[in-house]
Structure 1
């Protein structure tokens, strides 16, 4: 099975703003960015699953003529009361252990990891060994999946760059999973 983890294209939001589960628009040239992403991918997929946020759905809709499904578990981290605030305004003690510390009124990265691993296992079980699956999602979701596949601590996955519109490919034989490339 080939699984393509695709990060949404660039949002139109001021730099330094925390926006996990807030609906934000994409930059005006998003259509050309989507074309660049599509050029990195196979022509057809057997399944497409997307985060429910519009910044992911716009890309998922362009991947193929297949209908795609959405799943809330592929959502970005819920930053709770910090949504749409500047990162500089986030309490400094959160950064001391941001993997385990919950955002005020939101979730921790470990909470995200749990929900992402749940859907990851479902995807592996529901799709055939020769299937090509696209997952259109967010940077922290991709990091959680990569950390599971590589068997590394979630915090170490923040050493990876996951750019807007990037593609990470994972293959699964049913017995083991392998990261073929990261952040293409």
Structure 2
């Protein structure tokens, strides 16, 4: 299976806000960014299209599906959502008590924000999704519209990386990351294209 992961486009939200699973809308640049992603994908043929149900991903998936001729074939999957930041959702990062944030930041793989989830939990649901689509779409090319955290988690899984330090990897809005699952050793073909 070939897997192309697309991060959603830029958002209509002030900089410095923790939004995670909050259903934030796309920015005014959406149509320009959609056209950019369509351009990047124009040479590819896809057998299936999955998306996070959050509107910032679903809107992009709809636009891509229309352009790729898959208009009625989008499958939303809650496992593709971003990290749930719990009580920190929609707060300014600077308003989160520094001592609580620092404790979480040192071990976000195993610690969660209050009422949120750990990065290990996010990765576990992502790997569960990945294993399911590998079985369902062997030998096919699958397009997935999701979030930066999920893309990082799947990269870590494919590369057998520890989750600690994963936020050093920047995933651009409207960027593509491609993975291939042929044979026993998965490969990452590119990141942030």
Normalised TM-score (structure 1): 0.95
Deviations 1:12-67 (A, max 9, x none): 11111000111111111201101101111144310001000010011111222321
> What residue in structure 2 maps to residue 50 of structure 1?
51
> What residue in structure 2 maps to residue 74 of structure 1?
80
Q: Which runs of 4+ in 1 moved over 4 A?
A: none
> What residue in structure 1 maps to residue 190 of structure 2?
181
Deviations 1:107-145 (A, max 9, x none): 11111111111111111111021x110010000100010
**Structure 2 unaligned blocks of 5 or more:** none
Q: In 2, distance between residues paired with 1:23 and 1:140? A: 15
Q: In 2, distance between residues paired with 1:127 and 1:142? A: 19
Q: In 2, distance between residues paired with 1:43 and 1:157? A: 29
Q: In 2, distance between residues paired with 1:128 and 1:115? A: 20
SS in 2 for 1:44: coil
Q: How many residues matched?
A: 183
Deviations 1:124-177 (A, max 9, x none): 111021x11001000010001000111111123322110100100111104221
- Root-mean-square deviation (CA, aligned residues, Å) is 1.2
Q: In 2, distance between residues paired with 1:180 and 1:52? A: 26
Contact 2:11 2:25 (C-alpha < 8 Å) held by counterparts = yes
**Do residues 5 (structure 1) and 5 (structure 2) align?**
yes
Contact 2:107 2:164 (C-alpha < 8 Å) held by counterparts = no
Q: In 2, distance between residues paired with 1:65 and 1:102? A: 40
Normalised TM-score (structure 2): 0.91
Contact 1:146 1:157 (C-alpha < 8 Å) held by counterparts = no
Contact 1:17 1:86 (C-alpha < 8 Å) held by counterparts = yes
